[in-house]
Amino acid sequence: MSSDEDAGKPIDWYRSPLSRELMKSLNTRSNALGLLQAGGYLAILLVTASLTWYSAYHWPLWATLPLIFVHGTCYAFQINAVHELGHKSVFRNRGLNSLFEHLFAFMGWINHRMFWTSHLRHHRYTLHPPDDLEVVLPIKLTRADFLRNAIVNPLGFWWTLKQTWRIAAGRFSGQWELKLYAPGEQQKRREAVAWARTILVGHLLIAAAAVWFHWWMLLVLVTFAPYYGGWLQFLCNNTQHVGLRDNVPDYRLCCRTIRLNPLLRFLYWHMNYHTEHHMYPGVPCYRLGTLHREISADLPPTKGLIGTWREIADIQVKQRVDPDYRYEAPLPAQIADATARQPAG
């Protein structure tokens, strides 16, 4: 049985209403805006890498280490780049979209073939297990989880290396993997295996060049870069669904939109607008801000990053006492009703 055949019934999702004209406008892809996003993000990585490389050979260690950390902090958002490019909505030109998707997937040790197979189901059945096992609630986050990703994460590198090697050898395992890549899904398996081998061979060549030319910083700035400085991406990415409701047909209750400053929105590929992204996944990331403004009156109130993590911390405390507890975001109609019920004066 194929992974599509064993899926559940389609979910009748609630989506905030949009006019046909506005929807057409929001769904318009732009090569120029795509290049500004993808090329701009790549440019940031090239700048942080260049400064770090120069510092490693000209400046003292105390100057180089912070630059390495800044590079890793920016580099950690590769998964968000691959995610957006995987939706094929960043560029009008599919070739450009594919080029950047493969580039960021290679740099970030991401098997974009496997990620997209999983993520397609995540969008279709968001937080409806067993049809979506990409994200399963409740998610327990600890200080140890944060610290493991925040500074240096050698275990993350070792785990990724082992998983990439396993897929490169054609070995698929685990409930979710075998659901998505059943034994009969030979073409899908070959694509995932081929990309895993590309990652391994490519990074082996980078390591060989680093040894041959004594370019040790090449390993630090590319091959090992996804495994340090992940603190900011951790804080952004883990706001998306943690503590919210599962098994509901309303993205406003199972996804979370947060407020971020323009630079962080750019690094995060505008995924702070996560509710909007799930409602209308065809809207390019650089138009999600416009979408948010159009439907904000139909969404729960938003908070900044610090306020959101205070909310998550409170939810996690409650879930330790009651594992079945889920936070129910207040919807505009409920807020209006509660306000109307308050006594005057």
**31: closest CA among 101, 94, 114, 119?**
94
Q: Does 197 score more than 50 pLDDT?
A: yes
List Cβ neighbours of 135 (8 Å cut-off, separation of 6 or more): 122, 126, 127, 240, 241
- Tokens linked to 106: 């290679």
Are residues 258 and 299 in contact, defined by beta-carbon separation less than 8 angstroms? Answer: no
Q: Where are the beta strands (DSSP E) in the chain?
A: 258-259, 303-304
List Cβ neighbours of 139 (8 Å cut-off, separation of 6 or more): 238, 241, 242, 243
C-alpha–C-alpha distance, residues 146 and 302, integer Å: 23
C-alpha–C-alpha distance, residues 107 and 154, integer Å: 17
**DSSP H helix total and E strand total for the chain:** 18, 2
Residue 143: the pLDDT is: 87
Q: What is the pLDDT of residues 269-321, one digit of tens each?
A: 999 999 999 999 999 999 999 999 999 999 999 999 999 999 999 999 999 99
Q: What is the pLDDT of residues 1-18, one digit of tens each?
A: 455 556 678 999 999 999
Residue type, 285: C
Element (H, E) at 200: helix 186-213
Residue 345: the pLDDT is: 47
Residue 9: the pLDDT is: 84
Q: What is the pLDDT of residues 122-168, one digit of tens each?
A: 999 999 999 999 999 988 888 888 988 889 999 999 999 999 999 99
The band of 340, judged by pLDDT with boundaries at 50, 70 and 90, is very low
- Tokens linked to 239: 């706001």
Are residues 80 and 238 in contact, defined by beta-carbon separation less than 8 angstroms? Answer: no
Q: Does 342 score more than 60 pLDDT?
A: no
Distance of alpha carbon 299 from its chain centroid, rounded?
21
> Average pLDDT of 110-127?
96
Residue type, 154: P
List Cβ neighbours of 103 (8 Å cut-off, separation of 6 or more): 42
The band of 119, judged by pLDDT with boundaries at 50, 70 and 90, is very high
Q: What is the pLDDT of residues 165-190, one digit of tens each?
A: 999 999 999 999 999 999 988 999 99
- Tokens linked to 73: 């902090």
250 forms beta bridges with 14
Q: Does 53 score more than 80 pLDDT?
A: yes
Are residues 253 and 279 in contact, defined by beta-carbon separation less than 8 angstroms? Answer: no
What are the CA-CA distances from residue 326 to residues 146, 236, 249, 299, 312 (Å)?
22, 20, 15, 18, 11
C-alpha–C-alpha distance, residues 256 and 214, integer Å: 46
Are residues 287 and 92 in contact, defined by beta-carbon separation less than 8 angstroms? Answer: no
